C-alpha cells in the first residue's frame, strides 16, 4: 500500500511539473509569435538573437526535471523560478 501511495504521489508530481513546464514554454511561444509577427524581413542579427532566445527556452524542461529530482532543494527551485 505504501509503495502504491509513493508511486501515485511521484506520478502526480511528475505530471504536475511536466504541465508547468509545458505552460511556461507555451507562454514563451505565444510571446515569441506576438513579438515577431510584425517583422517583414529577418536580419542575420535577429536570427542569431532568436536562436539564443530559443536555446534558453529549450532548457526549461531540464530545469523542471531537476526540480522533480530534487523537489525540496533550494537551488533547483531558484533555477526554475528564474526561467
Q: What is the pLDDT of residue 65?
A: 73
Mean pLDDT by 10 residues, the chain (83 residues): 66 80 84 84 86 80 71 66 60
Q: Which residue has the cell 511528475?
A: 14
Separation between Cα atoms, residue 17 and residue 67, nearest integer Å: 8
Q: What is the distance, to the nearest Å, from the Cα of residue 32 to the centroid of all Cα atoms in its chain?
A: 14
* Packing angle of the helix pair 60-69, 2-36 (nearest 10 deg): 160
Amino acid at each position: 500500500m505504501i509503495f502504491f501511495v509513493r508511486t501515485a504521489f511521484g506520478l502526480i508530481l511528475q505530471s504536475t511539473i511536466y504541465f508547468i513546464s509545458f505552460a511556461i514554454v507555451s507562454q514563451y511561444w505565444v510571446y515569441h509569435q506576438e513579438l515577431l509577427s510584425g517583422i517583414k524581413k529577418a536580419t542575420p542579427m535577429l536570427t542569431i538573437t532568436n536562436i539564443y532566445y530559443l536555446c534558453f527556452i529549450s532548457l526549461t524542461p531540464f530545469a523542471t526535471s531537476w526540480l522533480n529530482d530534487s523537489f525540496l532543494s533550494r537551488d533547483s527551485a531558484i533555477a526554475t523560478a528564474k526561467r
